[in-house]
Chain A
Amino acid sequence: MLTHLRRAVVVSIVLFVLCGLAYPAFETGVAQLLFPHQANGSLTRNGSTLAGQAFSAPRWFTGRPEPVGASPDASGAANLGPRSSLLLKDVRRTAAQLRRAGITPTNDLVTTSGSGFDPDISPTDAAAEAPAVARANHLSLAAVRRIIAQNTTGRELGFLGSPRVNVLRLNEALARLEHRPR
C-alpha cells in the first residue's frame, strides 16, 4: 500500500507538470504566435465579436433577449423548461416588445441562448429587424438589406453550423453607413 501511495504522489506531480503546466503553456505559446487575435478574445474597437451585447436603442440591430443582459462574465442559460409558465410569459413579453418596435417576432428573437451572450442572429432575424432599423436611421431598406448580406457568415465548409449575422459587426457596418455623406 505504501508503494502505491508513493507512486500515486509521484505520478500526480509528473502529470501536474506535464499536463497541468507544460501542455497549457506550450499551447498558449503556439496560440499567441499563430492566432494572437483569437487567443486573446477576438477583441475589436467596440468589444469582442464573440460576445453578444445588449443593443437596445431602436437604431441598432438587436441580438437575442438574454436573461441577464449578455454578460460574458456571468455565462449560462435561463434554463426554463419547455412547459414553464415563466418561459411562456417571457416569450409573450418579448414578442410584444418586438411588435411595438415594428418587428415581426422570429424564433431566435424571442428565445434566450445557451451561453447567455449569443453574438449572432440568423439572416431571417436580421431581415425581420431591417424595416424598423431602416426607419429609425432614415436609411433605405435596400441599403440595410445590403449590409445584412455583406455581414452574413455562411456555414463552415458549407455544411457545419448555421448561417449567421454577427450583431456587433452588423451594427458597426450600420454606423459606417450613417457617417457616410449622403
Chain B
Amino acid sequence: MPYALFLLAMLVVLALCWRFLGAYMAAVYEGRTAWLAFLERPVYRLLRLDPEVEQSWQRYAGALVAYSAVAIAVVYGMQRLQGHLFLDPQHLGAVSPALAFNTAVSFVTNTNWQNYAGETTMSYLTQMGALAVQNFASASVGIAVAVALIRGFARRSSPTIGNFWVDLVRGVLYILLPISLVAAVVFVGQGALQTFAGPVSVHDALNGVTQVIPRGPVASQEVIKQLGTNGGGFFNANGADPFENPTGLTNFLSAALILSIPVSLTYTFGKMVGNLREGVAILAVMAVLFGGWLAIANTAELGGNPAVAAAGIAHQGGGNMEGKEVRFGVAQSTFYDVASTQTSTGSVDGANDSYTPMGGFALLTGMMLGEVSPGGVGSGLYTILLFAIVAVFIGGLMVGRTPEYLGKKIQAREVKLAALGVLVMPITVLVLSAIAVSLPAGRSAALNGGPHGFSEILYAFTSQANNNGSAFAGLSGNTPFYNILGGLAMLLGRFAIIVPTLALAGTLAAKPAVAASSGTFRTDTPLYAGLLLGVILIVGALTFFPAVSLGPIVEQLSHGRFFS
C-alpha cells in the first residue's frame, strides 16, 4: 500500500513536470523567456558572442567537441593538482594519471563511472569545482544535442540548428541551477551534509567506539547529480550513504529529480515540432519499457535473496535486503535503482551487485536497450529519436514508400546516420567485454565467481558505453586496464553518438517539409508507438541475448548452486 502511494505520487509529480517543466524548457530553447538576462548577457559578452547568430551542424559539433576536450583537460588537471590547490582539508594527494583520465572522461560524458571512493580520493575543490561543474555542464550539453535534433525536425530548409554556446549556457542558467538551488535545501533539511568543515572524529561513550565522519559540500552536489542524470556520489556508497540520501523523502525526491527532465523533454519535443501527440507517442514507449522493467525488478527483489533463503532464514519479510538500506525498504529502493539505470544516471541507493539474478537482469538490460526509457537528460530523447527513424524506415519498407517522420523525408543518409548512432553502443559493449574476459587483467578484477563474475565485467562496459555510471561494484575497476578501456567506452558511447546525431539534425533542418497525404504513415498513433517499441526491443534482444544468457540468465537457472 505505501508503495502504491509512492508510485501514484511519482506519477503526479512527473505529470506536473511533463506539462510545466516541458513547456518551460521549450520556452528556454526557443528564446521566449529571459528572466535571467542579467546573468546571461555578461556571459555572452565574455564569450564575445552574439547569441542571435546560429551555427551549422558542423560548427555546432565543433564547438561541442572543443568544449568537451577542454573540460576533460580541466577535470584531469584539477585532480592531478588538487594537493597544491585550496579546499583540501584532508590533504589528499594527486589522483593517479589513469584514474584521473577515467574520471575526467566519466564526468564530461555524463557517465560518472567512479573507480574511486570520493571520501578518500577527491578534495572538496575537485568535487565542487571539477566534478559537480561537469554535472551541470555535461547535462546541459546532452539537452542541447536533443534540442538541436528537435530543431532539425521543426525547421524547414534551414542551414543552422542553433548556437551551442547559447544552448549550453541557457540550460545551466535557466533549468539546472534554479531547480538545484531549491532542491538542495530540502536535502539538507532531511540530513544531507553541506559544510566546508573537514572530517570529524566522534567518540561513543556507551559503546567505546570512535568513528571518523567524512563531510563536505554534499547536498549541493547530490541534487545536481540526480537532476542532471549524472550519478556520481560524493561518497563511495553514493545514494545509499545516509549523509547523501538520509530519508525516504529524499529517496523519493532523488528518483523524481532523475526522471523529471528526461520525461519532460518529450513535452518539449512535441511542443517544438508543433504536435504534442508526437511527444506523447514517444513518452508512451518510454513508459511501457520503464513499467515492464520496474515490474521485473520489483518482483525479483521482493522475492528475496537465494543465499539468505539457503542459509535457513525462512521469512525474508520485505524481500532481498542484502545491500539495501532499512530506511528505504526493498520496493522503493528498487524503484530508485531502476530509474537510475533506465536514465543515464547510475547513482545507486543500494548494491546493484547484490540484486537477485533477475533484479540484476532488469538493471543491466535496462541500459542495454540504449537508455531510452526515459534515458538521460537529452541523450534519452535523441537516442529514442534515432530508433524512431529506424522504425519509420522499417515501416516504409513494409509498404514500399519513402518514409517520412515529422514532415521530413527519411532517405539513405538519415537512415545511415541513425543506424550508426544505434549501433555504436552495442559494438562498444560487446567488443570491449570480449577483450576483458579474454585477458587476465580483465578477469582478475571480478569479485564474485561463476556467472556473476562475468556479469560484473559485462555490466561495467554496458554502463560505461551507455554513459550510465552504475556498477556491479564488486569489480575492482581502478586498474590501468579498466581505467583506460572504460574511458574509451565512455568517449565512444558519448561522442560517436552525438556527432552522427548532430549531422542528422543538420541534414533534417536543411530539408523542406513534405505535406502529409493519405499515404503518410502517422507517427502520433498507438500503432506507430507499438512499432517503435518493437524495434527497440528487437534490436536490444538480438544484440545482447547471448551475452546476457551467460550472466544473469545462467545465474537465475542455477537453482541450489553457489559459486565462489
Contact = CB atoms under 8 A, between A and B. Distances in A.
A1 B66 contact: yes
Nearest to B332: A161
B323 A38 contact: no
B9 interface: yes
B313 to A, nearest CB: 6
Interface stretch (A18-26, A129-137, A138-146): A18-26
Q: Is the interface of A mostly helix, strand, loop or mixed?
A: mixed
A103 interface: no
Interface string A1-28: 1001101111110111011110110111
A26 B181 contact: yes
Nearest to B133: A20
B404 interface: no
B248 interface: yes
A54 B450 CA distance: 32
A120 B307 contact: no
A150 interface: no
A87 to B, nearest CB: 4
B492 interface: no
A171 interface: yes
A154 B169 CA distance: 42
B74 A24 contact: no
Contacts of B181: 23, 26-27
Contacts of A164: 326-327
A156 to B, nearest CB: 4
B174 interface: no
B120 A73 contact: yes
Interface residues of B, number: 131
B354 A115 contact: no
A76 B239 CA distance: 10
Contact of B326 (A1, A14, A113, A172): A113
B326 A11 contact: no
Listed residue (B249, B252, B313) with the most chain A CB atoms within 10 angstroms of its CB: B313
Contacts of A115: 237, 240-242, 325
Contacts of B323: 77-79, 111-114
A39 B243 CA distance: 9
A85 B563 contact: yes
A76 B233 CA distance: 11
Listed residue (A84, A116, A121, A157) with the most chain B CB atoms within 10 angstroms of its CB: A84
A50 interface: yes
Interface in B207-247: 207, 209, 211-215, 217, 219-221, 224, 235-237, 240-243, 246-247
Contacts of B205: 45-46
Given A24-B217, A40-B195, A155 B2 contact: yes
Listed residue (B200, B224, B235, B450) with the most chain A CB atoms within 10 angstroms of its CB: B235
B132 A19 contact: yes
Given A95-B313, A107-B308, A85 B172 contact: no
Nearest to A166: B327
Given A81-B452, A107-B313, A75 B326 contact: no
B537 interface: no
Nearest to A49: B191
Given A34-B185, A77-B354, A110 B313 contact: yes
Given A9-B70, A71-B211, A4 B219 contact: no
Given A43-B200, A87-B307, A72 B243 contact: yes
Interface stretch (B363-371, B425-433, B496-504, B554-562): B554-562
Interface of B: 1-3, 5-6, 9, 43, 46-49, 62-63, 66-67, 69-71, 74, 117, 119-120, 128-130, 132-133, 136-137, 165, 168-169, 172, 177, 180-181, 184-185, 188-197, 199-200, 202-207, 209, 211-215, 217, 219-221, 224, 235-237, 240-243, 246-249, 251-252, 304-308, 310-313, 315-318, 320-329, 332-333, 348-351, 353-357, 360, 447-452, 455, 472-474, 555, 558, 561-564
Given A47-B204, A119-B242, 6 more contacts: A14-B169, A28-B196, A82-B357, A82-B555, A87-B308, A108-B326
